[in-house]
Structures are given as C-alpha cells and as structure tokens.
Structure 1
Amino acid sequence: MEAKASRERGPKPHLDREVFVEAGLRLASRPNRLTLTYRDLGKEIRVDPTAIYRHFRSKESLMQELLDRVLTHTCERTSAPVERWEERLVEFAEATLDVFLEYPAIAVTATSLTTNGPGELSVIELMLACFAQAGLEGRELAEQYAIYGSYVLASAAGLVRDHVETPEDESGSFAWFAGPLSADPERHSHVAAIREDILAIDQREMFLAGARQIIAAAKMQAGDRAGTVSEPAHGNPPPA
C-alpha cells in the first residue's frame, strides 16, 4: 500500500534555490494574487514548506530574490539606446508597469524591499546612465535617480494593487477616480466644471504622464546647470 502511494506521488523533485524561485514566479503570475505563502510554494513543488528554509533564511530573502528577477525583466524590456535617454526612461517606466502587472504578488513588495542583487543594480545603472546623458552629475544625478526610481516603483506597485483589487471595466482601462463624483457647482465649481474630464483619466496614462514630467524637469535642471557653467563670471572675460 505504501509503495503504491509513493508511486502515485511521483519521485521527489530535486531542490535548489532556482526551483523555489521558478515556483514563486509561477505562483506570483497567477491572476488576482497579491501574496505568496510557504504553504503555496510547498504545494506547487510538492514538498514540505519547511524545505524552503534550507535554501532561503527567511521569506523576505526569497521575496528579495523574486523581486530582483522581476527587476531584471524590466531592464531586458528596455531597448532604446541611452543616447535617446528620455525615450529610454519612459520605456523603462512602461516596462516596469507591464512586468509588475505580470507578477502582482512580487510587485507589491517593491516599495518595502531592497534586493541588493544584480537586477536592482541594473535598474539603478539604467536610470543613472540616462540622467548622466542628460548632463547631470554628482549629488544632482543621485537625487534625480532617487526621485524617478521612487516614483516609478511606488506608482507601478500601487497600480498593480488597484488592478488586482478593482477589476478593470469593459474597455480595459483603469479609471483614475472610481465613483460618480457628484459635486454641487456652487460649492465645488471646479470639480463640477471638469467632472467628465476627471472621470475620463486613465491610470496608466497618468502614470506615464508623471514619468514624463519628472524627465522634463530633469532636462530643464540639466539645461540650467549647463547654462550656469558656460557663462563666464562678471569681470573675468573668457581667454582669447
């Protein structure tokens, strides 16, 4: 009887870190899932969930590995050359949102985890290279990367959560404001005046519009800096 039960279960799978990572990616890609549990992973791989601890010291370390893989995917989908740095940054924002939507249970950890892995470093390098191409350097370069990176990761993670918790409408879009937005014109004249415009706003469009505004501000900052550097100081004419 025991031999028959063992045959029905099949051979025990070979276990290593990659097996758990691949199982985590599969589970995270399933619709309407915002969490991963050791129990789910154990069922997916057909092992006792405690086996995970032999390869990852904690659930956080597993999630860091999964998030790093997801961040690697965002870089792989960003193909515009650094010379077209504005286009490359927008493409990176789009890729981040798209990949996060594919792995919602991992994406929602992006605002709380630092992976210290190759995927995260590639993402940082991508943004730094773009803003350096714009003409920023030093502290200004670091701050601009931090602003843009925080916006893209946090906003994309938030949109993913909304996507899972609030089903999209028949048109496939995600409204920025959910609800009728009824407003008394006498008390809230601006709301009433552009109510339809507010209700027509799409979350993805707003996400990309925000990214473009940050990029435009960085371009302006770099231009101002270049203008300041190129202008000679009063009383010190440029050498002949």
Structure 2
Amino acid sequence: MDVATTRTAGSRTRLLTQDGIVDALLALARETPRAEVSIRMLASALGVTAAAIYRHFRDKDELHRAAVDRLYGEALSRVDRSEPSWRLRLARYSDALAETFLEAPAIGQLSPLVDGRGIGELASLDFIFEALEQAGLSGQRLIDAYGAYAGHTLAFAAGMALELSRESAPGSSVPWIGMLDAESLAPFPRLVRLRGDLLEMDTLVVYRAGVQAILDSIEAG
C-alpha cells in the first residue's frame, strides 16, 4: 500500500503496513538528506500518530533496521546478476551500495550501527559469497576476502553518507581532504609536492580505489 492511500483512508492506523512506513521514511530521508527523520516528521507525512507507527515497530531502532535492510535490497536490485564476471558484479554492487546510502544519507549512515540481518542484507551477503566462490575462493580465504570487501564497502559508504548529511550542498562531491595549509606542510616535501592532487580527491574516488585494490588482491590469488 502506498503512502498516499494511507493518508486519505478513513481508518488510517489499520491501513498502515510496515512496508508503507519504511517507504515513507526513505522518501523523507531522500527529500531532507541533511536532517534526521524524526518519528514526528514521519507520522505527519503519513497522516497518523506516532503511536500508530509504534504498533508496527517496537521502537525507532527496529524501524531503522528495516529501512537499512531496504537499502541493501535496493542496492542489490541495481546489479545485473547475469553479468558473467564476478569482479564486475562486485564492483557494481559496491557502487550501488554507495548510491543508495548517499540518496538517503540519514538512513545510510546508520548501517554499521544496526545488525538486523533482514532479507535484503542476507540476500546481499549470499550474492557476495557467490561472486567470491566464482573467483575460486574457499575456506578461510573466502571468509577473509568477504571481510575485507564487506568491511570496506559498508564502513566507507556509511561514512560518505554521514559526511554528505553534514554538507551545506547535499548531492555535491565531498572532498577526501578538506584543507591542507601550505605553511603547515612546509617541513614535509612530499606533501608539498602532492598537495594539489590530494585536494582534488573526493571520497567516492577513494572508495572505488579501495574496492579495486581488494578485487585486485582477490584476483591475484
């Protein structure tokens, strides 16, 4: 059921569903990327009371777990599962995860803090392991590669979402290094030489470089 139906129905509380509440939460997170979406804001958007929402979710943490899980599922849906290359599938998934987190940064930044293990996250885990097994990994090497890839993508994508939520112009690229004072760098000749290049880096470029380095390591065996 969509949010509009919930708003206009005569018996609003009965017509609420968990999916509809999560839909509304993510819609608000995408509309107001720099602000936390409060239960009051969510209830107002749905045309119900906060108590009505809490009849479907025990608390705000449970609601956030459901919303983060939805982002995992959305990221996975953007990957062409028929792509024969395990490497290209994982590279695309890492991009898709960052995209979904950055589209709704108030929710994406919460991902390392919740451990819901819902269907979206579980499907994503299975997808990653499928690709890594296709790369020829098994046993401890499989687990280690998963830890490196999943740890980097989750923590970094969430960090980018957090940084974006703090920016004055949401949607713009976020620099990896905000400032390097030339005078402070004077004793460090390498930093003086590289200062311009460092200031031109943005977080998404660094994120992708990390993914590629991990995939290179896996491919090299």
Q: TM-score, normalised by structure 2?
A: 0.88
Indicate the residue corresponding to 1:210 in structure 2: 210
Computed over aligned residues only, the root mean square deviation of the Cα atoms, in angstroms, reads 2.1
Indicate the residue corresponding to 1:192 in structure 2: 192
Indicate the residue corresponding to 2:77 in structure 1: 76
Indicate the residue corresponding to 2:125 in structure 1: 124
For 1:27, the aligned partner's letter is L
Structure 1 CA distance for aligned equivalents of residues 103 and 185 of structure 2: 42
Is the 8 Å Cα contact of residues 73 and 121 (structure 2) preserved in structure 1? Answer: yes
For 2:84, the aligned partner's letter is E
Structure 2 CA distance for aligned equivalents of residues 31 and 190 of structure 1: 41
Cα deviation code 1:124-157 (max 9, x no counterpart): 0111111111111122212211221111011011
Is the 8 Å Cα contact of residues 17 and 56 (structure 2) preserved in structure 1? Answer: yes
For 1:72, the aligned partner's letter is G
Instruction: Spell out the pairing of 1:133-212 with structure 2 (5 A cutoff).
Output: 133-167=134-168, 172-183=172-183, 187-212=187-212
Is the 8 Å Cα contact of residues 106 and 161 (structure 2) preserved in structure 1? Answer: no
Structure 1 CA distance for aligned equivalents of residues 183 and 130 of structure 2: 46
Q: Count the aligned residue pairs.
A: 212
Structure holding more helix per residue: 2
* Unaligned 5+ runs, structure 1: 1-8, 222-240
Cα deviation code 1:5-63 (max 9, x no counterpart): xxxx9834222222211211211112333422211111111111121221111211111
For 1:123, the aligned partner's letter is S
Larger gyration radius, structure 1 or structure 2 = 1
* Unaligned 5+ runs, structure 2: 1-7
For 1:215, the aligned partner's letter is L
| Bigger mean CA deviation after superposition, 173-182 or 96-105 | 173-182
Residue 11 of structure 1 pairs with residue 47 of structure 2: no
Compared CA separation, residues 34 and 145, structure 1 to 2 (3 A): farther
For 1:119, the aligned partner's letter is G
Q: TM-score, normalised by structure 1?
A: 0.81
